Structure 1
């Protein structure tokens, strides 16, 4: 009986390892989508989008930002995720060698059901579509292309420096915007701790803005951030006792 249990444990462990390897391999596979670009005065996306990041240059996402169609955006759960994209299947529009770039999900590309899915309604459900900045688009395809076929895959986010916490809100409506997140880039949960409180779970307000109804003024603040992959990291005493609304502080990085 004991021998059977040992063998059963061995096989279960073996299949678990195989499933983990298979899942990892699957996440590295290229998937098909389409891409267009948004024209801004300087060729990049700088306005506040559905993830709440604000000025994308200020938070270092800049031109390598993208709006995602609803299927990919997942109601904001994809905010901060990174994708490697490349133009494919068009000898005239794709740049030679199909170079790839990495973009960060910062916005939602809304559907337009007044137009056909394949003629203007690029972000209609269930299409998989990336709305890129003009400068980023120009690194993989010709600008004169209205729309191109691409391949994409999720990749880890390579960030410089630590995670950033921008404090917003009011005394009893405390909010924090979390940016510059490494690893898988997606924040799934945030906790905050003052010097006079325990750890307080924060709720998602919208995008990557998190909130709690507690007055934390006059206390140094610590943050615990958990990503969608389940990894957590704690940054102690990130904000000093006399922090002010509107200030940004840097913590640890994954």
Structure 2
């Protein structure tokens, strides 16, 4: 059965909880800034194609990135970012989810105002925003979703049954989705989907009937493997609906 993401409950109202990886990675130096947002959350028009999911996931602690975008495979990745100005910034920083692409003044992170404010000491938020751009250090961390499997959201631009576009969301661990394939029963073979943009994968004239998918995950050490969903998307799939894969990564 399909359902909208607004109705999907993962625990804690569908918010993501991020934890540093057990294998501690080294921090890299960079710079961070923020973009305008009327409610301080993310934007549904991000380059990853996440829509409303990309605005509110992780309680709106989200960011656009530049080189870390890597042609869309960096969408959904999780990072710990710490400001290096002890006068204004706390020592923990903020854990963000990549939902967009953006470039600023030699910055790797362009954060939602909500995420940017999380860098600051409680008494120095205004001062940090006045800086505009700050020196930071960052590292990749694992994404952990409480009560969630990997989900397939059917993009709103999909047109049943002639055009199917999917977004793979709630991917845990330090994994990038680098390929998606559909099983074609009559030919007994896997057919690759095209990365349309960001995290959106599409196919014109998809196979009829229920849709069985597998996706390629690349882990933090560069190890690549295929994961096949144990739940198929029903043959009467609908644009905007999300379907449970019944699998999750670590």
TM range (shorter): 0.7 to 0.9
Superposition misfits of 4+ residues, deviation over 4 angstroms: 194-197
Find the counterpart in structure 2 of residue 199 from structure 1. 190
Distance 1:92 1:129 in 2: 22
Find the counterpart in structure 1 of residue 152 from structure 2. 165
Instruction: Evaluate the alpha carbon distance shift between residue 44 and residue 131 of structure 1 in structure 2; reply closer, same or farther with a 3 A threshold.
Output: same
Instruction: Evaluate the alpha carbon distance shift between residue 237 and residue 99 of structure 1 in structure 2; reply closer, same or farther with a 3 A threshold.
Output: closer
Pairing 1:144–2:141 present = no
Instruction: Evaluate the alpha carbon distance shift between residue 91 and residue 60 of structure 1 in structure 2; reply closer, same or farther with a 3 A threshold.
Output: closer
Pairing 1:155–2:141 present = yes
Instruction: Evaluate the alpha carbon distance shift between residue 162 and residue 58 of structure 1 in structure 2; reply closer, same or farther with a 3 A threshold.
Output: farther
The correspondence for 1:220, drawn from 202, 210, 232, is 210
Q: Displacement, 1:153?
A: 0.6
Find the counterpart in structure 2 of residue 94 from structure 1. 89
Find the counterpart in structure 2 of residue 48 from structure 1. 45
TM-score, length-normalised on structure 2?
0.75
Pairing 1:85–2:81 present = yes
Find the counterpart in structure 1 of residue 201 from structure 2. 210
Q: Which structure 2 segments of 5+ residues have no match? A: 1-21
Distance 1:87 1:74 in 2: 23
Instruction: Evaluate the alpha carbon distance shift between residue 143 and residue 163 of structure 1 in structure 2; reply closer, same or farther with a 3 A threshold.
Output: farther
Equivalent position SS for 2:231:
strand
Distance 1:130 1:32 in 2: 11
TM-score, length-normalised on structure 1?
0.74
Whose RCO is larger (CA < 8 A, sep 6+)?
Answer: 2
Distance 1:59 1:176 in 2: 19
Given that residues 189 and 225 in structure 1 are in contact (C-alpha distance below 8 angstroms), is that contact kept between their aligned partners in structure 2? yes
Instruction: Evaluate the alpha carbon distance shift between residue 195 and residue 225 of structure 1 in structure 2; reply closer, same or farther with a 3 A threshold.
Output: same
Which has the greater radius of gyration? Answer: 1
Given that residues 221 and 237 in structure 1 are in contact (C-alpha distance below 8 angstroms), is that contact kept between their aligned partners in structure 2? no
Distance 2:214 2:230 in 1: 8
Find the counterpart in structure 2 of residue 108 from structure 1. 101
Equivalent position SS for 2:71:
helix
User: Structure 1 stretch 202-211 or stretch 133-142: which is displaced more?
Assistant: 133-142
Equivalent position SS for 1:183:
coil
| TM-align CA RMSD | 2.4
Instruction: Evaluate the alpha carbon distance shift between residue 92 and residue 58 of structure 1 in structure 2; reply closer, same or farther with a 3 A threshold.
Output: closer
Pairing 1:65–2:62 present = yes
Q: Deviations over 1:94-139 (max 9, x none)?
A: 13xx1132211111113xxxxxxxxxx51xxxx3421111111111
Distance 2:139 2:32 in 1: 14
